[in-house]
Amino acid sequence: MQGKALGVKFGIVVEAVQGPAQKAQVRRGDVITAVNNTDLTSIQQFNDIIAQQKPGNSVALLVRRGPASVYIPVEVGAG
């Protein structure tokens, strides 16, 4: 599904889920549109935000799932 159809300008489509994201119930097909209230504009930006976190910290992912948006807390560096 394209971003316009979901009503989002940019998002990272989740293709596979494992580890902490799986435990937090992030699902294949979810679209991550923001991290810690920062709207995403690129995959590099997402990677930079995650890399700045200390292991064990949590980030809040704003996830578009179908017509709904939900925040999902995910622990960084937990495995």
pLDDT tens for residues 36-69? 999 999 999 999 999 999 999 999 999 999 899 9
Regarding predicted confidence, which is higher, 41 or 5? 41
Please provide the CATH number assigned to the domain covering 3-75: 2.30.42.10
Q: d(Cα 38, Cα 20) in Å, to the nearest integer? A: 20
Q: d(Cα 58, Cα 49) in Å, to the nearest integer? A: 11
Q: d(Cα 22, Cα 41) in Å, to the nearest integer? A: 24
Tokens of 1: 């599904």
Cα of 57 vs its chain's centroid, Å = 15
- What is the residue extent of each domain of the chain? 3-75
Which pTM was predicted? 0.83
Percent of the chain whose pLDDT exceeds 90: 77
